[in-house]
Amino acid sequence: MRNASTWWTGISVMAVATALLAAPAFAQDAGELKVSRGVVHIERSGQRLPAPAGMRVRQSDVVVTGADGSAGITFADASRLSVGPNSRLAIDKFAFDSTTHQGAFETSLEKGTLAAVSGNIVKQSPGAMKVRTPAAVLGVRGTEFVVRTGDGTN
Amino acid sequence: MARTDCSAGRLVLVALTALALGGCPRAPVVQPVATPAPPPPVAAPKPPPVRTDLFVVLPGADGKTGQVTVTQGGVEKVLSTPYAAARIDPSGRLESSTASPQEVRQTFGATVDALPPRPVSFVIYFLQDSAEVTPESRERAQALLAEVARRLSPEVVVTGHTDRVGTVEYNDRLSLQRAERVRAELVRLGVNPARITVEGRGEREPLVATPDEMPEPQNRRVEVSVR
């Protein structure tokens, strides 16, 4: 019994520690929409929100643009990303420690076009930024690049 | 009449099924016998989607070109020269390529135009082991305020730095104090406090590389980035 209770205590302590460690990353906004032209939405928790400039962007958001839309985001690590018309960009993971500059930054370009200038996460840890498309994975060591993904229908 | 025929038909089916089950009639299961269902109407096979993925590394604003890797399955392409590209070809394979500046402009023009403006940084210097700003640094504040005013949705990121005198922990605290000091000054000058973020980088990012415990005025600074 003593062993079991020690074990449970251990698990609880670990769970609390994990929650504490994880909390800042989730509480933290990933970045801010600086440019919003034409039709731009953010899909968040199953909702489709209009996305004007100044809107804060979080991990798990999906940025969606219409046929005349484009949008630009500056992230907490000073990296900058933009999407062109008819695009979908999912912010899969964003974590950044502003003291050490350690972090991870993963996005998926589901369709359309992306332009990017990497920031402090990549400067600290080359390769810690990734962009996925349905067909391939791009790893970023620096600095400026563009990506188009499509299946011929867009 | 129709019903009777139907029942007869079912009886025959049951009998057949019973035979098929090896003469165990307790739970006769009526199953389709012999004639297989006709195949569903064949839809014209969709051609596999032709992917048009394109990855291009661009020369940076500082004239240097970075490096990206593109991986598909086990194939990796490294792009590290201006306009080096990788494409998914019609057969679905990843191939090395190049893109012309014209193609990039045509394909990514609206996208690149939507990149947020580059952050602009201002450096403010401090007296040794202190949160006091040097007199020259006070004057820099005006240019900073002008930059804040110029932007649509400005964020002001205040990052404190120290030289390498003292421990890492001490310098983490000192760098944050310096940043807080500048933050208070910016608020006094009219910058919206909700738009200011404060960070302390301690001694991790010296402007001038020095041995540990070496005093260096240029490293005792706060960088204010307007983005």
* Chain segment B155-198, per-residue pLDDT in tens: 999 999 999 999 999 999 999 999 999 999 889 888 999 999 99
- What are the domain boundaries of chain B? 54-113, 120-226
Give the pLDDT band (50/70/90) at residue A2.
Answer: very low
Average pLDDT over residues A2-17: 47
Q: Is the pLDDT of residue A84 over 80?
A: yes
The whole-number pLDDT of residue A11 equals: 47
Chain B: residue whose CA lies nearest to A34: B116
Residues in chain B predicted with pLDDT less than 50, given as ranges, are 1-25
What was the ipTM of the complex prediction?
0.82
CB A142 within 8 A of CB A122: yes
B147: part of which helix (H) or strand (E)? Answer: helix B135-150
Taking one residue from A and the other from B, the number of pairs with CB-CB distance under 8 angstroms is 165
Does domain B120-226 bear CATH number 3.30.1330.60?
yes
Contact A83 B55 (CB under 8 A): no
> Residues A41, A46, A50, CA angle at the centre, nearest 5°?
20
Tokens of B41: 């109407």
Average pLDDT over residues A47-58: 97
A34: contact with B, CB 8 A cutoff: yes
Q: What span, in angstroms and rounded, lies between the C-alpha atoms of A70 and A37?
A: 5
Average pLDDT over residues A94-101: 96
Q: Is the pLDDT of residue A14 over 90?
A: no
pTM: 0.78
Residue B189 to chain A, least CA–CA distance (Å): 22
Give the pLDDT band (50/70/90) at residue A151.
Answer: confident
